[in-house]
Chains A and B, each alone.
Chain A
Amino acid sequence: MIDIPEYLRPVVALGCPALGSIFILLFGRRPNLREGVTLLAGLLQFLIVFSMVPTVMSGKTIQSYLFPILPGIHFGFRVDAFGLMFAITASFLWILVSIYSIGYMRALQEHAQTRYYFCFALAIFGAVGVALSGNLVTMYIFYEILTVSTYPLVAHEQSSEALFAGRKYLAYLLTSGVFLLAAIVFTYSMAETTDFSPKGILSLAFSSRSTLIFLFVFFILGFMKAAYFPCHSWLPTAMVAPTPVSALLHAVAVVKAGVFGIVRTVCYIYGIDLMRDLGLGIMLASFAALTMIGASLFAVAQDNLKKRLAYSTISQLSFIIFGVALLSPMGVTGAMIYIPFHGFMKITLFLCAGAILVASGKKNISEMAGIGRAMPITMLAFTVGALGMCGAPPVAGFISKWFLAIGAIQSGQMVFLALLLIASLLDVVYFYPIIRTAFFEKMPQDEVLKEREAKVALFSKKTEIIETRRPLYYFILLPIAITASFSILFCLFPDLFHIYGLAQAAIRDLFWRF
């Protein structure tokens, strides 16, 4: 593995899921082999991506350009600290979600599993491609692959509701892709390059202020995957997908690709200075703040656990956008480390939601009274995740929120600090009831239970621990335990996987190089 020349590593890293997807199709009739391939591809990919860390940490970038697309644009990869952070997160979580999927999909006897694993691999291919790509055009290509490949996952259920969700998903995201393409092309026609650069490639020299602001709006519309208000509604609708997919959509691939794109645009296309000159930071921050608070309020009203988590995601994503929009070193640091940290925490929450669904068949929070006793490990993990979301130590969310808060102070906008704290408080408001219901409320009485014939069996003994009832469930529990413990470890050792170091390296590039 170590022998691979450095410039080829991004290509090989992408090759893993791409080849993997082909093998998955070939082995469609043999589930064990098929899932083995998925795991193997994930593991290899993670190792390769991780092997790039030392170089990038030393302040260099790994570049590999394959072939020219247009003058000044190559199809190629440029691995820098920020991209690597995202790639590590995505590839590591892919392994875990794959393990989880095995348990989840088999336990529920889902149909079309080959298609499911195939699209999953393709989606990861797209996500890691977005992370590693060296310019906007390459990124756009992977971005669209990601969009298309997740459609079958969203519509997996094939019920009319799922179809509607899928259609909505595509309508939103491909439309936004169109905006993105337009923005990219205009950028190219102005700057004659679309390579990411820590200084930004656009400047006032190219065009008037209003044009640049207009272009920025196009970019933001293009990254609709970030699910900011008022373009967020595809995300809760997409919750009909199987839970591992929701976990993928929310924690790893899709929404993070959107946020990632926004950070890229702000920091590497416009550059911090230009953003400040144009006053776009304030604009973006206000939008993000609106989303943070609005989405939290929506979340309170949801009874379906996954939908509530979806709104929570919308809100959390805007924390990231918010951090970047502060345009201060600490704010951007916070935003960058928020991406992996939120990834780990949110995936824990979603996996828990899925586990509850598999083991007890429950989707709504109001039905979950006392479930903490039946599924202690799951709910413990859930609690960890939820605490992290609220920003309480000792969970990773604390660190990232800490940086965001310092960033807000650095940028001198006390209003934003207040907004940040209010939004965090709202996180508590919508997570607390879940925990309370799960642990402190009594389970429904037997008479009520008998009406739900299918579920009675599961609860015949009140304190039976249902989460380990079948050996298959260990596939589900293991990833949950891992992500939850990582969520805590990230707080105690933020430099695990060099996440913090990478963020520092990226910030050095952005703020102190010129």
Chain B
Amino acid sequence: LVVVVSLLSAITIFIAGWINRKTSCYISIATLLGQFIASLFILHHVMTIGPIYYRLGGWVPPWGIEYVMDALNAYVLVILLFLGLVCVIYSKRNIEHELPQKVVSFYTIYQLLITGLCGITVTGDIFNMYVFIEITSLSAYALIASRGKIALKASFTYLVLGSIGACFFLLGIGFLYAITGSLNIRDLSLLLPPFYGNKVVLAAFVFFIVGLSIKMALFPLHTWLPDAHAFAPAEISAMLSGIIIEVATYAFIRVAFSVFTPRFLRLLPVFDILCWLGAAAIIIGSILAITQVNLKRMLAYSSVANMGYIVLALGLSISARTAPWGGLNPALMHILNHALMKGCLFLVAGAFIYKADLWYITDFQGLGKKMPYTCAAFVIAAISMIGVPPSVGFASKLYMILASIESGKPIFVAVLLISSLLNLVYFWRIIETMYMKRAEGENHSHASHKAHVQRAEVPLGMLLPIWVLASLCIIMGILWLANVPTPILNQVNAMFRLDMMP
């Protein structure tokens, strides 16, 4: 039965992309809803019974392609499909507004994108993963470019850098295949340990890291990201920032922890380097974000900083071991949290563009009155980025700080704390403009306050997704603090034997 669910989930993705030409939007929504529910079932199944293995075409694993569902990718899959669903609901109005002629192709490519992302997540075969990464990237190039003009340039940059990343990844696969003769992840993890000292394996590992770092927009390989985020349609920015780079992170975790093992990682100082890179990304990303005047670019740099958080948490993951903040917990937590927060922020930015064609922060004066609900959602997501309790941002921040103390690296505590102040600077500037600065021409007399301000709220179809994400920012924050979802994470840690002392 469960295999059928998994199969359904996989197959609907494939089919939906090509078939739904006419009523594309509704089919998309329905498909994603179905997938999302299926992924919840899968998560539940994985939690209660154990991993699911599905063999494509009935071939036995080392030769055939296998899909594996364990706690880690079930978790990522749920996040991914949830955000996908929210964005597609949002896109209905926005795309009709922005790209009236391209609705069908938009949804087709969008479904392809989801296919690719799901594929990366569920696959148990490293070459298959490469294929899906390419699918994802290609559809993302197309979606970014869909606005035309300057977006084409952004898309091209992404294309070039993304391809380079993919090449590195492919090279890594080639090296591993040359050594072991296998492409299956589980198989590899069994075959590799004898070769850990081998130069070729090391080279493969480095290729993987570099390749995926480009995809993850890890500092200093982030240069493609701001343009791509800034010029894509809102929901694609949200997907890019909330999910696509996160799924790349997932691939990274998968490669680092499943293909290789923590034992291998401890041989190298790789994770220390990652910590420092993450820290640099956090600080520099935030500082660059402060210098931006375009809201979406600012959010994009904030994404760079947030990837820094995730990578820093990853880097700490092999040295912190105590249950609630040990291992991959903070990193996985932040993957979800960042998806929620950034998704919400980008959708809000999209709403401003949709309604009033506002791109620049200085133009937001008085928006708090014009679009009260949208702005309120923005405020929630923003204070959550700053890390004010009880939001999700606070939960991740707290756990990362605890993790870095346990690993004996108090310097990262300082980095995390400083960065939350930098976040404060760039987000508060916007909030202040929206609510506090008076729109030009508005009188200072009290009489004008009485005058009814014309409300110009976005349609419900766009408001609903924004608010779902915003309220989840708070609800999940409380849930994290209440430790509701931790069993999932603990299972992930148990899987990689991160919860045990070395």
Interface residues of A, Cβ cutoff 8 Å to B: 66-71, 75, 109-112, 140-141, 144-145, 147-148, 152, 155, 158-159, 162-163, 166-167, 170, 174-175, 178, 181-182, 185-186, 188-189
Q: Are B483 and A175 in contact (CB under 8 A)?
A: no
Q: Are A71 and B388 in contact (CB under 8 A)?
A: no
Q: Provide the bound-state CA to CA distance between A317 and B424, in Å.
A: 28
Q: Are B388 and A166 in contact (CB under 8 A)?
A: no
Instruction: Report chain B residues within 8 Å CB of A174.
Output: 386, 421, 424
Q: Are A145 and B481 in contact (CB under 8 A)?
A: no
The verdict on A170 contacting B483 (CB below 8 Å), with A181-B417, A186-B405 known, is no
Instruction: Report chain B residues within 8 Å CB of A155.
Output: 432, 436
B401 touches which of A152, A162, A185 (Cβ 8 Å):
A185
Closest to A163 in B: B436
Is B262 engaged at the interface, CB distance under 8 Å to the other chain?
no
What is the minimal beta-carbon distance from A319 to any residue of chain B, in angstroms? 31
Q: Provide the bound-state CA to CA distance between A189 and B435, in Å.
A: 40
Instruction: Report chain B residues within 8 Å CB of A141.
Output: 389-390, 394
Q: Are B402 and A189 in contact (CB under 8 A)?
A: yes
Q: Are B432 and A167 in contact (CB under 8 A)?
A: yes
In addition to A71-B324, A189-B405, 4 A-B residue pairs with Cβ atoms within 8 Å of each other are: A110-B446, A145-B388, A181-B417, A188-B402
Q: Provide the bound-state CA to CA distance between A155 and B386, in Å.
A: 19
What is the minimal beta-carbon distance from A27 to any residue of chain B, in angstroms? 15
A185 touches which of B402, B421, B424 (Cβ 8 Å):
B402
Q: Are B388 and A152 in contact (CB under 8 A)?
A: no
Q: Provide the bound-state CA to CA distance between A167 and B450, in Å.
A: 26
What is the minimal beta-carbon distance from B312 to any residue of chain A, in angstroms? 16
Is B428 engaged at the interface, CB distance under 8 Å to the other chain?
yes
Q: Chain B: interface secondary structure?
A: helix
Closest to B389 in A: A141
What is the minimal beta-carbon distance from B208 to any residue of chain A, in angstroms? 33
Interface 0/1 of B435-458, CB less than 8 Å to A: 111100000101001100000000
The verdict on A158 contacting B388 (CB below 8 Å), with A185-B402, A189-B402 known, is no
9 A-B interface contacts by CB (under 8 A): A70-B402, A112-B449, A145-B389, A148-B383, A148-B388, A155-B436, A163-B432, A163-B437, A189-B406
Instruction: Report chain A residues within 8 Å CB of B402.
Output: 70, 185, 188-189
Q: Provide the bound-state CA to CA distance between A174 and B393, in Å.
A: 15
Is B413 engaged at the interface, CB distance under 8 Å to the other chain?
yes
Q: Are B482 and A67 in contact (CB under 8 A)?
A: yes
Interface 0/1 of B419-437, CB less than 8 Å to A: 0110010001000100111
Instruction: Report chain B residues within 8 Å CB of A145.
Output: 388-390
Q: Are A166 and B446 in contact (CB under 8 A)?
A: no
Is B398 engaged at the interface, CB distance under 8 Å to the other chain?
yes
Q: Are A166 and B436 in contact (CB under 8 A)?
A: yes
Q: Are B401 and A69 in contact (CB under 8 A)?
A: no
Q: Are B435 and A152 in contact (CB under 8 A)?
A: yes
Instruction: Report chain A residues within 8 Å CB of B438.
Output: 158
What is the minimal beta-carbon distance from A268 to any residue of chain B, in angstroms? 21
B420 touches which of A71, A110, A170, A178 (Cβ 8 Å):
A178
Q: Provide the bound-state CA to CA distance between A181 and B481, in Å.
A: 15
Interface 0/1 of B362-406, CB less than 8 Å to A: 000000000000000000000100101110001001100110011
Q: Provide the bound-state CA to CA distance between A354 and B499, in Å.
A: 60
Instruction: Report chain B residues within 8 Å CB of A163.
Output: 432, 436-437
Is B323 engaged at the interface, CB distance under 8 Å to the other chain?
yes
Is B158 engaged at the interface, CB distance under 8 Å to the other chain?
no
Is B205 engaged at the interface, CB distance under 8 Å to the other chain?
no
Q: Are B424 and A144 in contact (CB under 8 A)?
A: no
Q: Provide the bound-state CA to CA distance between A170 and B401, in Å.
A: 22
Instruction: Report chain B residues within 8 Å CB of A148.
Output: 383, 388
Q: Provide the bound-state CA to CA distance between A166 and B436, in Å.
A: 10
Closest to A152 in B: B435
Interface 0/1 of B29-41, CB less than 8 Å to A: 0000000000000
Q: Provide the bound-state CA to CA distance between A174 and B427, in Å.
A: 13
Instruction: Report chain A residues within 8 Å CB of B435.
Output: 152
B398 touches which of A112, A185, A186 (Cβ 8 Å):
A185
Q: Are B446 and A109 in contact (CB under 8 A)?
A: yes
Instruction: Report chain B residues within 8 Å CB of A175.
Output: 421
Instruction: Report chain A residues within 8 Å CB of B67.
Output: none
What is the minimal beta-carbon distance from B126 to any residue of chain A, in angstroms? 36
B483 touches which of A68, A162, A166 (Cβ 8 Å):
A68
CB within 8 Å of A: which of B299-327? 322-325
Instruction: Report chain A residues within 8 Å CB of B417.
Output: 178, 181-182
Q: Are A178 and B436 in contact (CB under 8 A)?
A: no
Q: Are A70 and B324 in contact (CB under 8 A)?
A: yes
Instruction: Report chain B residues within 8 Å CB of A70.
Output: 324-325, 402
Q: Are A181 and B401 in contact (CB under 8 A)?
A: yes
Q: Are A71 and B323 in contact (CB under 8 A)?
A: yes
Instruction: Report chain A residues within 8 Å CB of B432.
Output: 155, 163, 166-167
What is the minimal beta-carbon distance from A432 to any residue of chain B, in angstroms? 36
Interface 0/1 of B242-268, CB less than 8 Å to A: 000000000000000000000000000
Q: Are A185 and B405 in contact (CB under 8 A)?
A: yes
Q: Are B389 and A178 in contact (CB under 8 A)?
A: no
Closest to B383 in A: A148
Instruction: Report chain A residues within 8 Å CB of B437.
Output: 158, 163
Instruction: Report chain A residues within 8 Å CB of B397.
Output: 181
Instruction: Report chain A residues within 8 Å CB of B383.
Output: 148
Instruction: Report chain B residues within 8 Å CB of A188.
Output: 402
Q: Provide the bound-state CA to CA distance between A182 and B420, in Å.
A: 12
Closest to A157 in B: B436
Q: Provide the bound-state CA to CA distance between A70 and B480, in Å.
A: 10
Q: Provide the bound-state CA to CA distance between A188 and B386, in Å.
A: 22
Q: Provide the bound-state CA to CA distance between A144 and B477, in Å.
A: 14
Instruction: Report chain B residues within 8 Å CB of A109.
Output: 446, 450
Q: Provide the bound-state CA to CA distance between A449 and B386, in Å.
A: 51
Instruction: Report chain B residues within 8 Å CB of A144.
Output: 388-389, 394
What is the minimal beta-carbon distance from B100 to any residue of chain A, in angstroms? 37
Q: Provide the bound-state CA to CA distance between A374 and B421, in Å.
A: 49
What is the minimal beta-carbon distance from B443 to any residue of chain A, in angstroms? 11
Q: Are B428 and A170 in contact (CB under 8 A)?
A: yes
What is the minimal beta-carbon distance from B411 to any residue of chain A, in angstroms? 12
Instruction: Report chain B residues within 8 Å CB of A71.
Output: 322-324
What is the minimal beta-carbon distance from A507 to any residue of chain B, in angstroms? 31
Q: Are A75 and B481 in contact (CB under 8 A)?
A: yes
Closest to B388 in A: A144
Q: Provide the bound-state CA to CA distance between A379 and B144, in Å.
A: 68
Q: Are A185 and B323 in contact (CB under 8 A)?
A: no
Instruction: Report chain A residues within 8 Å CB of B390.
Output: 141, 145
Q: Provide the bound-state CA to CA distance between A185 and B322, in Å.
A: 14
Q: Are A69 and B424 in contact (CB under 8 A)?
A: no
Q: Provide the bound-state CA to CA distance between A137 and B437, in Å.
A: 34
Q: Are B398 and A75 in contact (CB under 8 A)?
A: no
What is the minimal beta-carbon distance from A134 to any residue of chain B, in angstroms? 14
Q: Which of A67, A152, A181 has the most CB of B within 10 A?
A: A181
Q: Are B483 and A178 in contact (CB under 8 A)?
A: no
Q: Are B483 and A69 in contact (CB under 8 A)?
A: yes
Q: Provide the bound-state CA to CA distance between A149 and B224, in Å.
A: 38
A140 touches which of B323, B325, B389 (Cβ 8 Å):
B389
Instruction: Report chain B residues within 8 Å CB of A186.
Output: 405
Instruction: Report chain A residues within 8 Å CB of B322.
Output: 71
Closest to A25 in B: B376
The 6 closest A-B pairs by CB, nearest first: A111-B449, A141-B389, A67-B482, A178-B417, A189-B405, A69-B481
What is the minimal beta-carbon distance from B461 to any residue of chain A, in angstroms? 23
What is the minimal beta-carbon distance from A323 to any residue of chain B, in angstroms? 30
Q: Provide the bound-state CA to CA distance between A437 and B386, in Å.
A: 48
Q: Provide the bound-state CA to CA distance between A141 and B480, in Å.
A: 14
Instruction: Report chain A residues within 8 Å CB of B323.
Output: 71
Closest to A171 in B: B424
Q: Provide the bound-state CA to CA distance between A141 and B444, in Å.
A: 36
Q: Which of B323, B401, B428, B436 has the most CB of A within 10 A?
A: B436
The verdict on A67 contacting B483 (CB below 8 Å), with A148-B383, A185-B413 known, is yes
